[in-house]
Amino acid sequence: MSRLWNLTEFGFHADRVNHYETLFTVGNGYLGTRGSFEEGHPDSIAATLVNGVYDHADGMLVPELANFPNWIPFAITVDGTPFKVVTSTTDLMKPPEGVIFGYERTLDLKEGILRRAVLFRAASGNVVRVIFERFASLSDVHVMAQRVIITAVDGAPEIAIRAGVHGNSMNATALHWNDDVQVISTDEEIGIGATTRQSGYSMGVAARLTGPHPATASATGLILDLETRFSLEQEQTVTFDKLVGIFSSRDTDENPLDAARAKALRASEIGYDALRAAHVAEWAKYWDTADIVIEGDDECQLAIRFTTYHVLIASPRHDENVSVPAKTLSGFGYKGHVFWDTELFTLPLTTLTHPSIARNLLMYRYHRLEGARHKAKANGYEGAMYPWESTDTGEETTPQWSDVQPDGSRIRIWTGDNEQHISTDITYAIQQYWRFTGDDDFYTRYGAEIVLDTAVFWGSRAEEKNGRYELSQQIGPDEYHENIDNSVFVNRMVVWHLSTALNALSWLRAHAPADAARLTSQLDLTEARLAKWQDIIQRMYIPFDAEKGIHVQFPGFFDMEFIPVPKYQPRVTSVQAILSHARSIQTQVIKQADVVMLMALLGESVGAPGGADVKTVMRNNWDTYFPRCDHGSSLSPAMHAWVAARLGLLDEAYDQFHHAAHIDLADNKGNVRDGIHAAACGGVWQAVVFGFAGLHIADNGALALDARLPAHWRQISFSVNYRGEIKRFTVTNPR
Amino acid sequence: MSRLWNLTEFGFHADRVNHYETLFTVGNGYLGTRGSFEEGHPDSIAATLVNGVYDHADGMLVPELANFPNWIPFAITVDGTPFKVVTSTTDLMKPPEGVIFGYERTLDLKEGILRRAVLFRAASGNVVRVIFERFASLSDVHVMAQRVIITAVDGAPEIAIRAGVHGNSMNATALHWNDDVQVISTDEEIGIGATTRQSGYSMGVAARLTGPHPATASATGLILDLETRFSLEQEQTVTFDKLVGIFSSRDTDENPLDAARAKALRASEIGYDALRAAHVAEWAKYWDTADIVIEGDDECQLAIRFTTYHVLIASPRHDENVSVPAKTLSGFGYKGHVFWDTELFTLPLTTLTHPSIARNLLMYRYHRLEGARHKAKANGYEGAMYPWESTDTGEETTPQWSDVQPDGSRIRIWTGDNEQHISTDITYAIQQYWRFTGDDDFYTRYGAEIVLDTAVFWGSRAEEKNGRYELSQQIGPDEYHENIDNSVFVNRMVVWHLSTALNALSWLRAHAPADAARLTSQLDLTEARLAKWQDIIQRMYIPFDAEKGIHVQFPGFFDMEFIPVPKYQPRVTSVQAILSHARSIQTQVIKQADVVMLMALLGESVGAPGGADVKTVMRNNWDTYFPRCDHGSSLSPAMHAWVAARLGLLDEAYDQFHHAAHIDLADNKGNVRDGIHAAACGGVWQAVVFGFAGLHIADNGALALDARLPAHWRQISFSVNYRGEIKRFTVTNPR
């Protein structure tokens, strides 16, 4: 059913140019190319981002992914009129600027191909149909391919084309590339090579054009094109293919431009059709396990394929030294940095459906243990303390200050200092990966070291005071409340973390004694240290209100002003923005699932101090925190959906799920122009699998479900790779 | 499942103001009110149109429905800032013009209620939520109701409201209303009464406001308001209800303003909640039989409820002297005139689900037989020749000339002269009504007279020449080809018509001899006349190409230039507009289902001259005409869907169905601002029931199905009132 796989834009939406550029990104885990027009557009933000190629430009607070040469330009003139999207004219028969009669753009999620068809009349009156197609090959990630089909629908026009690789926008956001750019411009090929200024990565992009008419090269600065002109008879069709190679010094020992040239040559020998067939076949393998089929809700069916697509194109397949940027490779938002969004939101999808990808992502963290150890040391702690924002180096790359505000001030950003739960989030992802894959090799060689060394950090971080252990100056998931003492999320997760670490060490001692010995020695896991962990587990302060039977987000939370968040509807703005930052931080408005997130991660094992009934407490927590949450973060709704489903609150669960699934499609945060919300995309998958389907590993070690589906969902199907075996699940709604 | 009943606009779309005003029309068969904003908008085209109240203003070529006073104005100021939809501001905390944080508008198709919720901040910084609700009562069509709920979400604002009835736009499109307007303006009620200039209809609209604060009247010319001011405490909510009465001299013997005042008073005594409950209960009765449930296609499920809703709100329930305007009562397009769109497109839905409505619509034609006889006589023919465009008078109201074109010329409009098949279309609708309802009373007293007197017209109209009967200077459904000789659609339908008339007379003679005698005498149905009809039936020229095995749309059609219509994609423009009117009429581009429409109406009984296999001919016809049709008329896609389904071409059928179902929702003709495409809406229903489900009356007189569903439709359900009994059908797709 292609209609449930195709995201289509009918008609051109001038006010949505940047939104759709993001939605229509193509990618392959190695790179992402935004869905910009081949002919350009005044509002366009074109970008090709290659994962891992960060650069810290002069004058910027932090490094960012450097924009690559634009490989999609394909200009067409029809009888001298430049082809472009012009929607109205003074003269329909002889439109001075040309005019389009129709426009349709479709991202085929199943095949990972972006297509656009436009019917265009030139000033001459002649009418052509142009069909554009592009993909970033999933079967060879260094290949990008573009096809342009021009048909003379009415009249016999003179056509000129220019198929280019344009380097003029490479330094548009900041000065990342050195001036000594290598340029190749012959009638057979065009290419650009360059090196980043600070980080010293080099890259190369090269293109070849195939078609019925020989081309000649033209170069103006970094604007390189292959040009040709020809006449079309009425109803005649021509097809041109531009085949592009791309490399960076991160992934080849050769000169990247040479590698790119060789790849473009090889791609042109293979040809577009064969490249596309291989690409489509590769996509089929990924969808085989990653697809979730929802019967009874077409809208959410398409939406979840869209969100899964974006997780899949952002997840590296062949590289242990990159992760998933918070805005994927689809925009400049968050500068390509990596947050907890990966480990707790996007990574579980790959852990359960394509564990080799998840392993890469976890290895990214393993290879950056040194950065985490630097951070711990610099902050006066032991062990490994992961940075809140991470890039290639593994060092903390959270900016300390915001951009300049309208009143000239800058706001201090505390997350790099105090949002320390990231280390536990990574440990959570490692444990989840290990439990679902049974990958003892990974765990003993790499994973356990992270689990234990981050536990070492927490052991040194916990503060023994007031007759218990506390954690001051933390930021939990609810970032509206910064630098608070005793976040119940953080404190409880640290208890979980230390317990997990102790269990990990016991397991290693029993099953991998050499690794246990190595880590004990290397990480200085003395008996005294382990005893302290045990003591922290026993005596950590878990804020709880026994009278109300709720976990307390942090002591003092309920002393602040109450805001009736549900009355702030309808809105696309956060309640924080409505109240102002200064006021909202002194209110009970919560940015995102915090206590609710804790319940998602730990389920009933979250526990209830003092013998309270945990089910009752969980429901009380929901009733308390859900109406205080403004979902100012895109991470929030999916977690709420998951927990509401577990609590049997299916209407709320569905509302939250629908919201989460449409954050990018509906742009209901208003910032999709900056890139896809990766965490929301991954959260949507988890809301279905862990939330509605209730997937879990039962006590007997088998996968089990505890499904509670929204009333109108007839059936859902999904797959899980459980310890190397593909398990297929279909849940039919008894209602 | 409210999501499959609610049409929702998320966020304000500045470029869609007029489109959504049309979509969000509320109505009750008596009137329609466009979905304009209570506070107004600079681009708004507000209208309340009462069916039948036509007026022929000075300087206009033809009469049109006269716009009534606007009953929806409800202005609100918050701390002095006028409430309106402002989407950006220089200052979010103290927005100089106010600002909205969110906006959601929903038309509840099940309940016939329009709702809008907006979160608004005034310049003062205070935040209010405003919820608007309105409906045109279906249980008492002279009542319109509006509720406004204002909540102080943040802060304690001063609120001022003005709830009005505004007559200033009554004469905006043309001078329809006399100057001696009656105005009522007291603190209890406001009202406007006026009389149309040419037609002399009078009307009255009166309103009362109920709420927690007493109001005072204000009047500036025809802008009448009830005003009040008050303070709100934080989180306080106020509710105001405006209850409106409306009458015209068409539906009361009293002074309409007096009747409206009495109705508004009575409505305010009953109260909004009780009025709404009665309204919703009435809607449930209509949906009980009119709803089509499509399982497996949420998008089309919502779309078909939308199209059915618009047929239902445009179809008169209590009046034999109005019909369904081509653009319903939702806009000024086609000036409220009635075309064949009613009989062949919208009426079948009511014939099969609410036959009392269909009867009214047919009685509208019965009461206008005199107009049809005038037209026949004026053109030198006998019998009854219905006007192509009809209003209250029954006289031909098709303009002879178009509006002035860009080059200063006017185009001659020939449809009023030569699109004569309207008389047969009406007969077709009568026969269909009679067969499905068994309403012999209607048939013998009214219906047969139309069937026979329009047959008399055709008997006098047919030209005996070339050794056969011909019909010259006709316009078939394909209006791109005007004034052609021997349209196969027209000629074949006339044969059907005359056969039907002869059968009708035989039936009357057997079952209602008095009526037979009356009509024989009154219509001069001599044996000679009947013999001529028989002769025409035998010797009418049916253009047919025996070699190709196709019906020929008209002789000479295939001599014109061939245009490869399918290559003119994607487009929202018609191919005619692309080619120009002058050129397209000399090509084989077809505006809409013509031979295909003939196959829809007659099915296999369309026949195949010379002993050709009719199934083969029908398929050949499809293969010939479908790729030549540009669907320049909104009537086209649904008929194509119907026929394609019958031919088993389910992919094409679904494409056409989807197109038809979204003509208004997607505005894929670009002119929804002018009103709903009533015929497309009715055609969608027929495409499902007659097309996909294959509903027909079997030889044994029972209803039967011959279903062929699109592959992804799991099941459809619908109801038919067959001869007074509700038959429920559910078709499950075997695929």
Chain A residues with CB-CB distance to B650 below 8 A: none
Of the candidates B682, B604, B595, the one whose C-alpha atom is nearest the C-alpha of residue B640 is B595
Give the pLDDT of residue A1.
61
Q: Which residue of A has its CA nearest to B92?
A: A578
- Model confidence pLDDT, tens digit, residues A80-113: 999 999 999 999 999 999 999 999 999 999 999 9
- Model confidence pLDDT, tens digit, residues B351-394: 999 999 999 999 999 999 999 999 999 999 999 999 999 999 99
Interchain CB distance below 8 Å, B567 and A151:
yes
Chain A residues with CB-CB distance to B117 below 8 A: 569-570
Rounded CA separation B182/B203 (Å): 10
Query: Between B151, B570, B578, which is nearest A127 by CB?
Result: B578
In a domain, A14, yes or no: yes
pTM to 2 decimal places:
0.95
Interchain CB distance below 8 Å, B117 and A579:
no
Give the pLDDT of residue A734.
87
Cβ under 8 Å to B: A residues 457-486? none
Rounded CA separation A713/A715 (Å): 6
Residue A575 contacts by C-beta under 8 Å, 6 or more apart in sequence?
A563, A565, A568, A584, A589, A630, A632
Rounded CA separation B2/B8 (Å): 11
Write down the H helix ranges in A389-522.
415-418, 422-437, 440-442, 448-461, 488-511, 513-522
Rounded CA separation A56/A395 (Å): 13
Of the candidates A593, A729, A579, A582, the one whose C-alpha atom is nearest the C-alpha of residue A652 is A593
DSSP B503: H
Which residue out of A189, A449, A479, A482 is catalytically annotated?
A479
Return the amino acid letter for B692. F
Q: Which residue of A has its CA nearest to B152?
A: A567
Q: Which residue of B has its CA nearest to A95?
A: B578
Please give the interface size between A and B, counted as residue pairs whose CB atoms are below 8 Å apart. Answer: 98
In a domain, B616, yes or no: no
Interchain CB distance below 8 Å, B119 and A570:
yes
Interchain CB distance below 8 Å, B572 and A101:
yes
Which domain covers residue A26, as residue numbers? 2-267
> Chain B contact for A93, CB < 8 A?
yes
Rounded CA separation B544/B585 (Å): 21
Residue A368 contacts by C-beta under 8 Å, 6 or more apart in sequence?
A386, A390, A393, A394
What is the side-by-side order of every strand in the sheet holding B715-722? B293-295, B715-722, B725-732
Q: CB B131: neighbour CB atoms within 10 A?
A: 17
Phi-psi region of B193 (alpha: psi -120 to 50; beta: other; left: phi over 0): beta
CATH number of the domain to which A40 belongs: 2.70.98.40
Query: Between B104, B567, B577, which is nearest A153 by CB?
Result: B567
Residue B380 contacts by C-beta under 8 Å, 6 or more apart in sequence?
none
Q: Which of B4, B19, B104, B119 to mutate to test the interface with A (most CBs of A within 10 A)?
A: B119
- Model confidence pLDDT, tens digit, residues A196-255: 999 999 999 999 999 999 999 999 999 999 999 999 999 999 999 999 999 999 999 999
Cβ under 8 Å to A: B residues 169-188? none
Interchain CB distance below 8 Å, B101 and A573:
yes
Cβ under 8 Å to A: B residues 119-138? 119, 121, 127, 129
In a domain, B322, yes or no: no
Give the pLDDT of residue B609.
87
In a domain, B620, yes or no: no
Rounded CA separation A428/A690 (Å): 15
- Its ipTM equals 0.93
Q: Which of B87, B101, B709 to mutate to test the interface with A (most CBs of A within 10 A)?
A: B101
Chain B residues with CB-CB distance to A10 below 8 A: 666, 668
Chain B residues with CB-CB distance to A234 below 8 A: none
> Chain B contact for A659, CB < 8 A?
no
Q: CB A280: neighbour CB atoms within 10 A?
A: 17
Q: Any long-range contacts for A352-356 (C-beta under 8 Å, 24+ apart)?
A: A352/A436, A352/A689, A352/A720, A352/A721, A352/A722, A353/A289, A353/A290, A353/A719, A353/A720, A353/A721, A354/A286, A354/A289, A354/A290, A354/A315, A354/A721, A355/A433, A355/A436, A355/A437, A355/A439, A355/A721, A356/A317
Query: Does the annotation mark B188 as catalytic?
Result: no
In angstroms, what separates the C-alpha of A151 from chain B's closest C-alpha? 9
Give the pLDDT of residue B370.
97
Interchain CB distance below 8 Å, A102 and B569:
yes
Looking up tokens 């976890």, which residue turns up?
A362
Chain B residues with CB-CB distance to A712 below 8 A: 1, 3
> Chain B contact for A577, CB < 8 A?
yes
| Both structure tokens of B703 | 């209803």
Residue numbers of chain B with a pLDDT score lower than 50: none
Query: Between A11, A299, A578, which is nearest B127 by CB?
Result: A578
- Model confidence pLDDT, tens digit, residues B221-245: 999 999 999 999 999 999 999 999 9
In a domain, B249, yes or no: yes
In a domain, B45, yes or no: yes
Rounded CA separation A394/A661 (Å): 31
Q: What's the total number of domains in chain B?
A: 1
Residue B82 contacts by C-beta under 8 Å, 6 or more apart in sequence?
B39, B75, B76, B98
Return the amino acid letter for A242. K
| Both structure tokens of A8 | 């289509």
Cβ under 8 Å to B: A residues 514-533? none
In angstroms, what separates the C-alpha of B525 from chain A's closest C-alpha? 54
Chain A residues with CB-CB distance to B103 below 8 A: 570
Return the amino acid letter for A653. A
Query: Between A3, A235, A567, which is nearest B129 by CB?
Result: A567
Residue numbers of chain A with a pLDDT score lower than 70: 1
Which residue out of B111, B343, B449, B479 is catalytically annotated?
B479
Q: Which of B568, B709, B733 to mutate to test the interface with A (most CBs of A within 10 A)?
A: B568
Give the pLDDT of residue B1.
61
Of the candidates B225, B191, B207, the one whose C-alpha atom is nearest the C-alpha of residue B75 is B225
Interchain CB distance below 8 Å, B102 and A571:
yes
Q: What are phi and psi of B510, to 5 degrees?
A: -80, -40
Q: What are phi and psi of A416, to 5 degrees?
A: -65, -30
Query: Between B151, B567, B711, which is nearest A129 by CB?
Result: B567
Rounded CA separation A264/A528 (Å): 60
Return the amino acid letter for B625. Y
Rounded CA separation B273/A721 (Å): 55
Give the pLDDT of residue A169.
85
Query: Between A154, A297, A580, which is nearest B93 by CB?
Result: A580
Interchain CB distance below 8 Å, A571 and B119:
yes
Chain A residues with CB-CB distance to B152 below 8 A: none
Of the candidates A80, A72, A74, A2, the one whose C-alpha atom is nearest the C-alpha of residue A34 is A72
Chain A residues with CB-CB distance to B129 below 8 A: 567-569
Rounded CA separation A494/A486 (Å): 11
Give the pLDDT of residue A670.
87
Q: Which residues of A153-187 are buried (b: 16+ CB within 10 A; e: fewer)?
A: bbbebebbbbbbbbbebbbebbbbbeeebebbbee
Query: Both ends of chain A: CA-CA distance in Å?
Result: 25
> Chain B contact for A715, CB < 8 A?
no
- Model confidence pLDDT, tens digit, residues B310-329: 999 999 998 999 999 999 99
Query: Between B1, B102, B127, which is nearest A712 by CB?
Result: B1
- Model confidence pLDDT, tens digit, residues A114-123: 999 999 999 9
- Whether B439 and B355 have beta carbons less than 8 Å apart is answered as yes
Chain B residues with CB-CB distance to A129 below 8 A: 567-569
Query: Between B103, B572, B666, which is nearest A102 by CB?
Result: B572
> Chain B contact for A104, CB < 8 A?
yes
> Chain A contact for B6, CB < 8 A?
no
Cβ under 8 Å to B: A residues 249-308? 297-299
In a domain, B151, yes or no: yes
In angstroms, what separates the C-alpha of B733 from chain A's closest C-alpha? 15
In a domain, A450, yes or no: no
| Both structure tokens of B196 | 């149309």
